[in-house]
Amino acid sequence: MSGTDTSPGLDPQDPDVLSVTATMVNRRGLHARAAARLVTVAEQFDANVEVRRGDQTVSARSIMGLMMLGAGRGESVTLMATGWDAHAAIEALVALIEAGFHEDD
């Protein structure tokens, strides 16, 4: 499963937040095109989704914020979501990350 725990769970710091950790598998990590694809998927859901790497947390709807995380290949990010579609949003975003942002399509 490429180092990704795909079972969204409750964030221990905020039990109202679903969270899951995913590992970048694509060659260039979370670069501009990958960030744009992540934003496109995140915007499809009625959920507030944030992405955390280390001590930085950004909106999953911010291309620049996502790029500033600097998540490279093999590095992990934590996806956190609240809202009606939180579970579906997390599942779709994990699938996108595990598919390497479809860069080889």
Residues annotated catalytic, as ranges? 31
Single-letter amino acid code for the residue at 92: A
Instruction: Dig out the tokens for 94 from the structure.
Output: 């994990």
Single-letter amino acid code for the residue at 81: A
- Cβ–Cβ under 8 Å, residues 37 and 22: no
Single-letter amino acid code for the residue at 74: G
Instruction: Dig out the tokens for 60 from the structure.
Output: 């999953």
